[in-house]
Amino acid sequence: MRVPKNPIYIITFLFSLGMLLCASFSISITLLWKVFVLYLLVTIFCLFIISKRFHALKCLILYCSFMLLGALNYKNFYSPNKNHFEHHLPKEQLITLQLEIIQYNGANSFSHSYKAKVEAFKNNSLNGKVLVYQKKDSLTPPFKKGTFLFAQGILKEIAPPKNPGTFNYKKFLSQQSINYQFSLQEAIPLNAKKGPIKSLQNAFLKGKVFVLNKIQKSGLKTQSKQMIQTLMLGDRNAIDESIREAYANAGVIHLLAISGLHLGILAFFFSLLLSPLKKVPMGNNLRGVLVLVLLWSFAFFSGASPSAVRAATMFSFLVFAQMANRSGNSIHFLTLSFLLLLIIHPPYLHKIGFQMSYAAVFGILWIYPLLHKFFIPKYYLPKIFVQAFYISLAAQLIVTPLSIFYFNQFPGLFFISNLVIVPFFSLFLILTLCTLLFSLFFKLPPFWQWLYDKIIELLNGFINLIANQDQFLLKELTIDQFELSITYIVLLSLLLFFKSVKANYLLLFFIGILSLNLYDVYEEIKVQKENSLWILHQNNAEIIAIQKGEKVFVVRDLENKKSTTILNDFKIALHIKEVAPMLPLNFYSLGKIKLLRIGEEAETIVFPHTPTHLLLTKNSRINLERWLSLYRFELVIADGSNASWNIERWEKTCKQLNVPFHNTLKKGALKITL
């Protein structure tokens, strides 16, 4: 396919780069506006002064303004306005708010979690989103989406991750404009507000409840009902956790999230159904409009999830391209949709689904034609499977670096799972849609029920078979942002070389490969020089880690599953190759660092050297004031195995005696360089 030469690519790249730079560096929106106005004046001056002979310089100056526009667009979205609740509400104390529940996140053993909008405080209208925690109570069911609450609780900032490599939930929520959490103590549901938007939302909710009731009465097996809820209503939590994990390990987790694949299949299906319209005047345009109406109706009916809206927008541009007889410029229209979505909603830039969806479609549009030229069988059935393999390979080549960056693993059998499932999945998704529509108005015939249940059983059975081949699931892979960027430069240069054989592209490819190798050597040397003591945080347990190069010696409870997860994340983040268990000691002599560890046996410890650091663990029955009078500790440390009231008591004592104190519950893991 011919890639059109169009400035939209440079504009989109620079606009996105500006957003990324703004996200990476802290800069006020006032200063950013001043820089932009100054740059705009300089640009106008240069455009009139610089000679026509320097056309390239003019273009460069003009293009760079889009980078500033991207930064402004990003900063303007994330800058809280004057009515944002963070400017008006007291923190760390009991307050009463009016909230609207906008999303139910799920639950753990102790609480339900929600995303909510702050509506008012003391009769003053406010705005902003907040994370809400509600203690689990057998008498109180979780709140539904759209519920208004008169809520009492404590507002505080979301805590950062406690250990290296742990998922940064604070950053994840911050990218969604959520920086505070509200611990709910009491709540009274209020009457919902009325208005056209709320009425429309309520209508969709009632429609969804009606459909759910019909699904439950359909006579299908439980797994079949769960699959319909997931694929048609966008309810990811409907599928059992074990099944979701199997799909992830098999490399086909994308099948369970309404995204570009689903909308693409449905767009093709709707186009096929409406193909007779091409015979009437303006029929091609009419068909395109109806396809868009059906796509957007499905996107909203499925819950209007961000992934569904993104996919609908993306395919809307592709349908417009077909309507304008410009299907050869699909990448151009795809880039336009990418830019438009970033302008409208900057948080999409951080969405994994957004990045992977566009990467996959770009890969298919760009790489698939190259593979198609390589070899295509003459016969229909082999041709279908080879094309499916090429599509899967094209998408996976582009998506793999992102997958490793975010998930630190790569399913080695993804070729097999995608080769078998993707061609079948198109028919299966259409069958699921027909099953849902038929069950809304009629009772499913017994044969139809048996057939759909059998297909679900075979599909999940095949997925489990692939997922259980642990030897083909490559885990603990890691690349950082620099390696990710260089990897995509290498891929891009290689693709450009295959499209247009030029020495510059080949040179860029080899420079990228060399850069990756040099960076890998640099990182390995840096890890080899590392020699440090870590006090990691875990609730109700202790973890001590002594890192010596690529090896780490660990003191922990071997039966504690949570500590295994913490150490695995720690290992990946610090590029550690070997983790060795170590027996707990009361005294650690590590060069200049002499760590005294005191647990329950506070009065019976014998140590050979004067301690420099004190670690309090497992609710030690220590008279801390007496120990601080005997030894001049450089630092006193309390880990997560201690009760909070004990830690507060020790911290108060240290503050009175001017001794530095580190609480891992508040400050996270402690690193001491040896």
Residue 673 above 80 pLDDT? yes
600-621 mean pLDDT:
79
* Of residues 310, 315, 312, 287, the one with CA closest to residue 298: 312
Percent of the chain with pLDDT over 70: 91
Confidence bin at 274 (pLDDT 50/70/90): confident
Residue 638 above 90 pLDDT? yes
What pLDDT score does 622 carry? 85
pTM above 0.75, yes or no: yes
Residue 253 above 80 pLDDT? no
- 412 three-state secondary structure: coil
What pLDDT score does 603 carry? 55
Distance CA 364, CA 359 (A): 9
Residue type, 452: Y
- 258 three-state secondary structure: coil
Confidence bin at 55 (pLDDT 50/70/90): low
Residue 495 above 90 pLDDT? no
What does the pLDDT look like over 179-216, one tens digit per residue? 999 998 888 887 655 555 555 566 666 767 777 788 88
Q: Contact at 8 Å (CB) between 614 and 635?
A: yes
What pLDDT score does 1 carry? 41
Contacts of 591 (CB under 8 A, 6+ apart): 674
What does the pLDDT look like over 360-415, one tens digit per residue? 888 888 888 888 787 777 777 777 777 777 777 788 888 889 888 888 877 777 66
Q: Contact at 8 Å (CB) between 506 and 497?
A: yes
Distance CA 666, CA 160 (A): 9
Residue 526 above 70 pLDDT? yes
* Six-digit token string for 13: 């790249």
Distance CA 662, CA 664 (A): 6
Phi, then psi, of 470 in degrees rounded to 5: -60, -30
Residue 291 above 80 pLDDT? yes
By residue count, the chain amounts to 674
What pLDDT score does 4 carry? 43
Residue type, 519: Y
What does the pLDDT look like over 313-346, one tens digit per residue? 877 877 777 776 665 567 777 888 889 889 988 9
Average pLDDT, the chain: 83
What pLDDT score does 2 carry? 45
Domain ranges of the chain: 8-78, 85-193, 203-475, 481-520, 531-673
**C-alpha distances in angstroms, 673 versus 146, 164, 546, 594?**
50, 15, 10, 12
Q: Contact at 8 Å (CB) between 260 and 361?
A: yes
57-68 mean pLDDT:
82
Residue 559 above 80 pLDDT? no
Residue 240 above 80 pLDDT? yes
Q: Contact at 8 Å (CB) between 232 and 436?
A: yes
* Six-digit token string for 513: 């490969």
Q: Which region among 545-554, 594-603, 659-668 has the lowest average model confidence (pLDDT)?
A: 594-603
Question: Which CATH architecture describes the domain 85-193?
Answer: Beta Barrel (2.40)
What pLDDT score does 591 carry? 86
Distance CA 612, CA 590 (A): 11
Residue 276 above 70 pLDDT? yes
Buried b (16+ CB within 10 A) or exposed e, 24-34: eeeeeeeebee
Distance CA 6, CA 605 (A): 74
Residue 417 above 80 pLDDT? no
Which is more confident, 164 or 218? 164
Residue 282 above 80 pLDDT? no
Residue 3 above 50 pLDDT? no
* Six-digit token string for 544: 């001590």
Which is more confident, 476 or 572? 572
